[in-house]
């Protein structure tokens, strides 16, 4: 079945901790290569209520950096960790595999080690390759989502050596500026609509990125906005509907405060015109054809912009404990006689695409500098928080 490695973190030097985490993760990776799920058993002598936790992992190589960070933190505080092969991986067409994908199956008697079952991990990592045309291991710690190819053009101009899809026609093509530390940037062109936004973030969340930022276009809803102005979301009106059943509308969803602060600093330093406020996310691309209910919702919420993806990405960021934010650029003003028309679109795109990407990258530079181990995220911590799964302050 493969090796079993047990490490007691008591008294280990930082160098020994680093070596030990590599050995532990190597066991999980080797188990996966042999067709087994890997298992981690964690003993925390200081914990009164949850001293012993365990969990299974699939495709550990795709989240190696994340596992090493989490394990190193535990060993440094004196935990004892064992890694071993667990059980043979069932095929995707096994009925039991399907049952194990259900995130709502919760054992309330014990604390979870990780947010996702190994079956969920295996399927998501497979689908990431299918949808994006790139392997999951290429994804970096910071992920940008866009709904326009123009941001891809700007990204590739900035990072000409970026990893690209291995085939044409990928549904949600991804591009990766890879760094040795894994703290580079991945850009995913999810296309238009909340269904795509949900699909992408459902699977990317398994990789445990440090940040997720939506950089897309929006309709400006205020008279004094102009095309090319920016909108930094402070909250969302969820009219996208794709996640209502798993996260009711009365659960507040807001961006990560620190990430928003870095984006705001970038906007101010660049001298950009912007507004802070609520983004109304709809699943109806032609909401203008039946206006009254939508206009009333926008008015009551004080929305400053309308789009089709931002609230969805934010909601999944909240559900899956990933710090998130939204920086949009106004491409039209549907309420003020300035709809998005083909004739003027290209000029706007060329003028805005580099600024938009640069603002997000500037903010991420600040994240790396001030929070090299990832952004704190107390606001997305659950009462029954898994040991692995949240930002580093958890």
Q: Mind giving me the DSSP string for 58-115?
A: S-GGGGHHHHHHHHHHHHHTT-EEEEEEEEEPPPTT-HHHHHHT-TT---TTS--SSS
Question: How many Cα atoms sit within 13 Å of 310 on the Cβ side?
Answer: 30
pLDDT of 345 higher than 90 = no
Q: Mind giving me the DSSP string for 165-219?
A: -SSTT-SS-EEEE--TTS-SEEEEE--SSHHHHHHHHHHHGGG--SEEEEEEEEE
Q: 29-59 pLDDT, tens per residue?
A: 999 999 999 999 999 998 888 899 999 999 9
* H or E segment to which residue 124 belongs: helix 118-132
Tokens of 337: 């006689």
Q: Distance between CA atoms of 56 and 86, rounded to whole angstroms? A: 7
pLDDT of 341 higher than 70 = no
Mean of the pLDDT values across residues 168-192?
A: 95
pLDDT of 215 higher than 60 = yes
For the chain, give the percent of residues with pLDDT over 90.
72
Mean of the pLDDT values across residues 379-389?
A: 72
Helix then strand then coil, in percent of the chain rounded to 5, is: 40, 20, 40
Tokens of 53: 């936790």
Tokens of 51: 């001293």
pLDDT at 52: 92
Nearest to 251 by CA among 306, 194, 319, 343: 319
Q: Distance between CA atoms of 275 and 267, rounded to whole angstroms? A: 10
Placement of tokens 């997305």 in the chain:
380
DSSP 8-state class, residue 232:
E
pLDDT at 112: 83
pLDDT at 102: 83
pLDDT of 360 higher than 90 = yes
Single pTM value for the model: 0.92
pLDDT of 377 higher than 80 = no
Question: Looking at 121-125, 157-161, 382-386, which range is the least confident one?
Answer: 382-386
Q: Distance between CA atoms of 73 and 63, rounded to whole angstroms? A: 16
Q: Distance between CA atoms of 78 and 207, rounded to whole angstroms? A: 26
| 3-state class (DSSP) for residue 245 | coil
pLDDT of 394 higher than 90 = no
Mean of the pLDDT values across residues 94-103?
A: 87
pLDDT at 194: 95
pLDDT at 387: 77
């Amino acid at each position: 079945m493969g090796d079993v490695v047990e490490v007691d973190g008591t008294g280990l030097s930082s160098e020994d901790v680093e070596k030990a985490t590599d050995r532990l993760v190597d066991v999980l990776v080797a188990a996966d290569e042999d067709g087994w799920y890997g298992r981690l058993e964690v003993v925390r002598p200081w914990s009164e209520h949850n001293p012993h936790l365990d969990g299974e992992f699939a495709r550990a190589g795709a989240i190696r950096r994340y596992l090493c960070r989490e394990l190193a933190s535990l060993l440094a505080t004196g935990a004892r960790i064992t890694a071993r092969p667990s059980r043979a991986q069932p095929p995707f067409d096994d009925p039991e595999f399907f049952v194990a994908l259900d995130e709502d199956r919760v054992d309330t008697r014990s604390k979870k080690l990780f947010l996702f079952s190994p079956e969920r991990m295996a399927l998501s990592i497979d689908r990431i390759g299918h949808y994006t045309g790139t392997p999951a291991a290429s994804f970096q710690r910071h992920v940008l989502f866009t709904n326009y190819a123009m941001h891809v053009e700007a990204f590739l101009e900035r990072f000409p050596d970026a990893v690209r899809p291995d085939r044409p026609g990928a549904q949600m093509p991804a591009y990766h500026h890879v760094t040795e530390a894994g703290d580079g940037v991945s850009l995913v062109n999810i296309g238009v609509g909340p269904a795509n936004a949900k699909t992408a973030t459902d699977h990317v969340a398994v990789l445990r990125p440090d940040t997720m930022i939506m950089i897309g276009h929006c309709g400006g809803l205020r008279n004094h906005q102009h095309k090319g102005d920016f909108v930094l979301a402070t909250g969302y009106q969820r009219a996208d509907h794709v996640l209502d059943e798993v996260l009711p509308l009365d659960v507040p969803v807001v961006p990560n405060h620190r990430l928003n602060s870095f984006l705001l600093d970038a906007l101010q330093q660049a001298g950009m015109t912007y507004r802070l406020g609520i983004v109304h996310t709809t699943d109806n691309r032609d909401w203008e054809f039946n206006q009254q209910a939508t206009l009333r919702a926008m008015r009551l919420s004080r929305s400053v912009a309308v789009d089709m993806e931002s609230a969805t990405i934010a909601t999944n960021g909240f559900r899956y404990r990933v710090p998130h934010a939204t920086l949009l650029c106004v491409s039209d003003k549907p309420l003020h006689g300035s709809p998005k028309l083909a004739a003027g679109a290209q000029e706007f795109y060329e003028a805005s695409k580099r600024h938009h990407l640069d603002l997000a990258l500037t903010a991420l530079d600040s994240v790396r500098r001030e929070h090299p181990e990832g952004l704190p995220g107390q606001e997305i911590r659950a009462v029954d928080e898994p040991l692995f799964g949240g930002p580093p302050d958890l």
